[in-house]
Homo-oligomer: A and B are copies of this chain.
Amino acid sequence: MTLPQTRAFQKVVDHVEQAIATGELAPGDRLPSERELVERFGIARSSVREALRVLESMELVRSQPRDPRGPLVLPASTGPIRRSLQMLTATQAVSLPELVQFRMVADAAANLMAATRRTDAQLLGLERNMARMRESIPLGYGAFSRLDLEFHELIAEAGGNTLVRLYGNVTRESVLTLIQRTILDAGDREALMRRSVRHHAAVYQAIADRDGPLASRLARETLYAYYADHVDEADRAIMADLVRECGGTVS
């Protein structure tokens, strides 16, 4: 009684995936209990459980012990994408130059959009972040870099584009983990941090002034200045192209 084509659990996975994609199952809905899925799909409970583990790993559903209402359908999440991306960078499938180049593109877009769409409240959030960042300099690079990520995340959020935000956040995190070792070796970390604060202030001002092109150019120029020395000639040329594309100058 073996099915050569598809494995038993795959039927359940496909069915639930389809139902969620079509909106038939919405976040907050409940799947039937494991034992009920056994009857509906005519497969063993172990197979049902394999299906639920797969759906859980995609963050589509969540099973909770002793919940009589059944597995919960979750809202669409970017978690699996983040984890997959981190695995790609961890296994060197994506290199630092690729990450930096993409970050130039994503940060530029985020800054541009934020300059147009930002609200005063979001501007205030950026101010508060910058204040905390200045205070964190004596605390070391760990706390500082978390606030650095938050600064860009706030901008991406203000930009209002889910994809720019998601890809940008993941990319920034990956860049940070890859570069952290190098940074820690650098002699004058405090100078690096102070430079970051100045760059953030410039970007903040451009966004406050609703000067999108400037905010965009600052992102590209800054990233070029930070990372150009960490990549080889060919990748540096691409980065320079990205800076010049929008009228920027390579320092």
Which A positions have Cβ atoms within 8 angstroms of B? 3, 9, 17, 20-23, 46, 49-51, 53-54, 56-58, 60, 65, 75-76, 78, 80-81, 83-85, 87-88, 90-95, 98-99, 101-102, 105-106, 108-109, 112-113, 116-117, 161-164, 167, 171, 212-213, 216, 234, 237-238, 241-242, 244-247
Contact = CB atoms under 8 A, between A and B. Distances in A.
A47 to B, nearest CB: 9
B113 A241 contact: yes
A246 B242 CA distance: 10
25 contacts: A9-B53, A20-B87, A21-B87, A22-B90, A23-B91, A53-B53, A58-B83, A75-B93, A78-B88, A80-B81, A88-B162, A102-B109, A102-B161, A102-B164, A102-B167, A105-B105, A105-B108, A108-B245, A112-B242, A163-B171, A167-B167, A245-B246, A246-B246, A246-B247, A247-B247
Contacts of A23: 91-92
A234 B108 CA distance: 19
**What is the oligomeric copy number?**
2
A29 B126 CA distance: 47
A52 B246 CA distance: 48
B162 A116 contact: no
Contacts of A92: 23
A91 B16 CA distance: 13
Contacts of A112: 241-242, 245
Contact of A87 (B76, B88, B116): B76
A22 B91 CA distance: 7
Contacts of A245: 108, 112, 212-213, 216, 246
Contacts of A80: 58, 80-81, 84
A102 B161 CA distance: 8
Contact of A106 (B60, B85, B105): B105
Contacts of A246: 245-247
B109 A21 contact: no
Contacts of A161: 98, 101-102, 238
Q: Can you list the 7 inter-chain pairs with the closest CB atoms, starting with the nearest?
A: A76-B93, A21-B90, A102-B163, A54-B57, A50-B53, A105-B109, A76-B91
B91 A163 contact: no
A88 B76 contact: yes
